Amino acid sequence: MWFQTATFYEIPVHAFYDSNGDGVGDLAGIHEKLDYLEWLGVDCLWLLPFYPSPMADGGYDVSDLTGVAEEFGTLDDLRALLDAIHARGMYAMADVIVNHTSDQHPWFQAARQPGSPSRDWYVWSETPERYGDARVIFVDTQDSNWAWDEVAGAYYWHRFYAEQPDLNFDNPDVREAVKNVVRFWLDMGFDGLRMDAIPYLYEREGTICENLPETHAFLKELRAMIDGEYEDRIMLAEANQLPAEVVAYLGDGDECHMAYHFPVMPPLYMALRREDASDIVTALEATPEIPAGSQWGVFLRNHDELTLEMVTEEDRQFMYEQYAPDPAMRKNIGIRRRLMPLLANERSQFELLHGVLLSLPGSPFLYYGDEIGMGDEYLLRDRDGVRTPMQWKGEPGAGFSTADPDRFYIPLVTDPDYAPEVVNVESQQADEGSLLRWVRTLLADRSRLPVLGNGSFALIDTGDPAVLGYRRTNDEADLTVLANFATTPRVVSLAAPMTEVRTGRSLGETIELPGHAFSWLAEHTGAI
């Protein structure tokens, strides 16, 4: 159950650290930065796709599902990295991207040939009318889920970019090949697999082609295989869906071990600007119980746009007005900005959201660079603006690479408020009052409180809509969390005299929370 108390940290390989000075981050670069990651106190490193890829979709368009992109290193570099991660008592997670491949993948190249015996590995049609009830996901660039292929003389199905044809899961050979991909990475030593774009595996006429029973049946088959052949490995579902559909990916404890809690993410941001936590309460109330042995993955930001696909039209407009006033900040149905710029560079808002994130039911996923408050370059192509090089030092090149910054795979942040001279690891490590040091302390506090990972969850009525309250309870501890989403101070009565577990401050039966403050509390007699 390591994943229930772990903190996850998301790393785009190309953007973390460049070990050989070619301007592209690499696996050996991550290896060199393990001291930092261990010092920070994260437990599981999620490596974004490192596979060979034409990079039409940031590496989510894979041309070899069991290889390593040349610019990132070799399979041996990866093995060495995994060994080093494990030697430090940490874990590693990789993406399994099997809903689709790159159109450059040999499977697609073979399937499209006239008369190909493997035509059936992908999803073809004579007309672009099939499966008309399925939505388009990348609405900014795609107007159909079908693309015409000259060589095949047919349309092929793609839920994302046209460069990403969907595999046909009705074909048993495809399912077998996918299982072998999973085995390959588990044999290599990965502890967890993030199942990318998992709602879309199967297509059926007359449905929206998402969350189909066949998809769940295949995931159960995969889980049974993993449980039968490996120990202590996990599957994480990336399913951006409404609560009832997301929870289905945990099955009866026989499907994925984890699923991202997409529904609670936008409400955290809405609550800040509305100075009212009701949207969070509604999302948590709508969240069904999850099977024993499973876990939510909670997050504030990631490498994609802040998705608004599953919120109401009214909330979507509110989010756009508040957080993406410039239309260029919007991408597909979401916002392509990083955490700190979303929060107007206000540390109190950052701290509030982390105090909540790290105590919500689930395991937190941090996005690289957010721990130092990195900014974005939202005018860059697609979602590249939130994937800029990690800022290690306040020097040209940001300590990311010795290459000429003009050669960086994605350019550095230039916004003067967030440029490397202002925002970097080195200066924040040296400064006890820095954001980075604050995050590190909070992570350490969390790891001393396993109840935050595995405890039960119950909302508390605080009597003030601006103040979110809940309890986390297990056999050893009973923790109360209060979080003030208003900018003004609020007084909340407590069930009993309590102690602030992070500061040791002793309280009576009330607490005054300054604007945007949170508190983790336990009764004086509590065992914490």
Least separation in angstroms between residue 33's CB and Ca ion is 13
382 binding partner (options ligand GLC, Ca ion, none; Cβ < 5 to 8 Å by kind): none
197 binding partner (options ligand GLC, Ca ion, none; Cβ < 5 to 8 Å by kind): ligand GLC
AA letter at 242? L
Q: Would you give the DSSP letter of residue 5?
A: H
Chain positions 134 to 173 lying near ligand GLC, rule: CB under 6 A, are 160
51 binds ligand GLC (CB under 6 A): no
Nearer to ligand GLC, 33 or 100 (CB): 100
Choose among 474, 476, 478, 511: nearest CA to 492. 511
User: Using CB under 6 A, which of 60, 91, 169, 202 touches ligand GLC?
Assistant: 60
Query: 234-237 and 258-260: which strand pairing?
Result: parallel
Least separation in angstroms between residue 393's CB and ligand GLC is 28
57 binding partner (options Ca ion, ligand GLC, none; Cβ < 5 to 8 Å by kind): ligand GLC
Strands (DSSP E) found in 413-489: 456-459, 467-473, 478-484
AA letter at 61? D
Rounded to 10 degrees, what is the CA torsion of 25, 30, 35, 38? 120
Structure tokens at 231: 């120990």
474 binding partner (options ligand GLC, Ca ion, none; Cβ < 5 to 8 Å by kind): none
160 binding partner (options Ca ion, ligand GLC, none; Cβ < 5 to 8 Å by kind): ligand GLC
Q: Which stretch binds ligand GLC (CB under 6 A): 10-18, 34-42, 56-64, 102-110?
A: 56-64
Nearer to Ca ion, 14 or 194 (CB): 14
250 binding partner (options ligand GLC, Ca ion, none; Cβ < 5 to 8 Å by kind): none
Nearer to ligand GLC, 262 or 323 (CB): 262
User: Using CB under 6 A, which of 97, 182, 239, 300 touches ligand GLC?
Assistant: 97
382 binds ligand GLC (CB under 6 A): no
376 binding partner (options Ca ion, ligand GLC, none; Cβ < 5 to 8 Å by kind): none
Least separation in angstroms between residue 327's CB and ligand GLC is 21
Residues tagged active-site: 196, 238
User: Using CB under 6 A, which of 197, 357, 423, 443 touches ligand GLC?
Assistant: 197
Give the residues lining the site for Ca ion (CB under 5 A): 18, 20, 22, 24, 26
Distance in angstroms (rounded) separating the CA atoms of residues 59 and 48: 8
Nearer to Ca ion, 22 or 500 (CB): 22
Choose among 352, 385, 349, 356: nearest CA to 369. 385
94 binds ligand GLC (CB under 6 A): no
Least separation in angstroms between residue 197's CB and ligand GLC is 4
Distance in angstroms (rounded) separating the CA atoms of residues 372 and 388: 14
Least separation in angstroms between residue 338's CB and ligand GLC is 15
Classify residue 220 as exposed, middle or buried by CB count within 10 Å of its CB (0-12, 13-18, 19+): middle
18 binding partner (options ligand GLC, Ca ion, none; Cβ < 5 to 8 Å by kind): Ca ion
Structure tokens at 354: 């982390």
List, as one string, the DSSP characters of 256-325.
-SEEE-GGGHHHHHHHHHHT-THHHHHHHHTS----TT-EEEEES--SS-EE-TTS-HHHHHHHHHHH--
Least separation in angstroms between residue 94's CB and Ca ion is 19
Measured CA to CA in angstroms, residue 425 lies from 33, 422, 461 at distances of 12, 10, 39
Q: Which stretch binds ligand GLC (CB under 6 A): 57-65, 260-268, 356-364, 497-505?
A: 57-65
Distance in angstroms (rounded) separating the CA atoms of residues 184 and 169: 19
The mark string for 417-456 relative to ligand GLC (x by CB under 6 A, - otherwise) is ----------------------------------------
CB 182 within 8 A of CB 234: no
Least separation in angstroms between residue 388's CB and Ca ion is 16
Measured CA to CA in angstroms, residue 200 lies from 44, 99, 144, 304 at distances of 26, 7, 15, 18
Least separation in angstroms between residue 458's CB and ligand GLC is 32
Q: Which helix (H) or strand (E) holds 334?
A: strand 334-335
Nearer to ligand GLC, 197 or 425 (CB): 197
Rg from Cα positions in the chain: 23
Distance in angstroms (rounded) separating the CA atoms of residues 137 and 21: 36
Least separation in angstroms between residue 97's CB and ligand GLC is 6
Residue at token pair 């989010």? 319
Distance in angstroms (rounded) separating the CA atoms of residues 356 and 520: 9
Nearer to Ca ion, 16 or 185 (CB): 16
End-to-end CA distance of the chain: 21
371 binds ligand GLC (CB under 6 A): no
AA letter at 314? E
By beta-carbon distance, which residue lies closest to ligand GLC? 60
Q: Is the C-alpha dihedral spanning 350, 306, 387, 32 positive or negative?
A: positive
Binding region for ligand GLC (CB under 6 A):
57-58, 60, 97, 160, 196-197, 238, 303-304
